Amino acid sequence: MNEHAGPPLRLGLIGCSPIARRRMLPAIGLVDTVRLSGVAAREVERAKEIAAELGTVASGYEEILERDDVDAVYISLPNGLHCEWAGNALRAGKHVLCEKPLATTREDALELTELAARNGLVLRENFSFEHHSQHTKVRQLLAEGRFGTPRTFTASFCIPPLPPDDTRYNAALGGGALLDIGVYPLRAAQLFLGPDLTVAGATLRVDERLSVDLAGQVLLVSADSVFATLEFGIQHSYGSRYSLWGSSASVTLDRAFTPPPSRLPVLRIDEQDHAEEIVLPPSDQFRNSLEAFVGAATGPVADNDVERPWRDAAVATAGLIDEIRKRAVCVGVRDEGES
Ligand SMILES: NC(=O)c1ccc[n+]([C@@H]2O[C@H](COP(=O)([O-])OP(=O)(O)OC[C@H]3O[C@@H](n4cnc5c(N)ncnc54)[C@H](OP(=O)(O)O)[C@@H]3O)[C@@H](O)[C@H]2O)c1
């Protein structure tokens, strides 16, 4: 719970995206330390329609950043536009909650995080899954030695094909499965195996006509010699899970990355002569992520010790993306996207 006693954080939306409508707006309604103070869309008429529906103020992207009554912005633009608008927002003095991934290269992520640190602003990447209590439980069991010495981590996140005009099929907007979906298992590997990860190999299935990747696999090695195998794609049936396998037990979690807030998560633990399921309470990861951001943005200004791990994690994820692109064996396919 945020113990902030001052006025609510005045949050503006940059982009009236499906995820903003489906998850962020309901979350804003649940957190009393934040207030929606405007929506910005590319087209003013659309912004006006949405603002009227939500009882707030309509703007364009640039205009909302000029408003003195907006303290922070939530950016949910196509992946290739995050860096530009997060940078614009930070330069305008706004705290930023940016959808994942923060940037498409390590260099850009580093520049943004340094800008935030210099300006004393909070910059968080909205990997909302990290804020679900199911992973806190796994980390607690791991720290207690419940699984013995970790040996392998496997994680998958795949979704069915998207509508043909979806931004994920547009290379100029930062399309592709790696940036949109692959970043989840990558971030999960960082969470459980630590930040020091080496890319040992990767594959990408690339639609040659669209120049975007539709699926891929990644092999990582951690600083403690734990191996990770990750897979992702936007041409599969839905699946979202991980498994951490240690010397004495393994734990498996289904619906790992985007569980609905009402879901009761089930951790399955398997040992030589024993299997066990732990049912956990539901958790609203979007609300938790927003609450954490608001707490940081309304607390002692951009406390470096609190913010540094979030910034470092964003830079590390972008660094892994760079490495995967460099090392991946790319398999060209035709007309498999947009189906
Ligand atoms: N954290 C999560 O659980 C989660 C889940 C899903 C998606 N996401 C992230 O959220 C972001 C938005 O994804 P989404 O699927 O909701 O929306 P999207 O289809 O990627 O579009 C986002 C918004 O970007 C704006 N936009 C600006 N330039 C555009 C252009 N040239 N073409 C199309 N749209 C443009 C549009 O808003 P206006 O017209 O209003 O300006 C649009 O609604 C992505 O970064 C994605 O990675 C996060």
Answer whether 162 contacts ligand 1 (Cβ < 6 A).
no
Question: Which of 167, 168, 184, 234 most suits a substitution to test ligand 1, by most atoms within 8 Å of the C-beta?
Answer: 167
How many angstroms separate the first and last alpha carbons of the chain? 44
Catalytic residue numbers read 100
Answer whether 99 contacts ligand 1 (Cβ < 6 A).
yes
* Cα 328 to middle of ligand 1, angstroms: 27
Residues with pLDDT less than 70, the chain: 1-5, 301-303, 337-339
As given in the structure block, the two tokens for residue 326 are 């460099």
- Residue 2's pLDDT is 44
- Residue 3's pLDDT is 53
Q: Taking Cα atoms as reference points, which of 32, 45, 24 lies closest to residue 1?
A: 32
Answer whether 17 contacts ligand 1 (Cβ < 6 A).
yes
Atom of ligand 1 nearest to the CA of 173: 31
Preceding peptide of 101 cis, ω within 30°: yes
* Cα 149 to middle of ligand 1, angstroms: 40
Task: For residue range 88-137, list pLDDT tens digits in order.
Answer: 999 999 999 999 999 999 999 999 999 999 999 999 999 999 999 999 99
Domains of the chain: 9-129+287-304 (3.40.50.720), 133-282+320-333 (3.30.360.10)
- What CA–CA distance (Å, rounded) separates 191 from 313? 9
Answer whether 79 contacts ligand 1 (Cβ < 6 A).
yes
Answer whether 93 contacts ligand 1 (Cβ < 6 A).
no
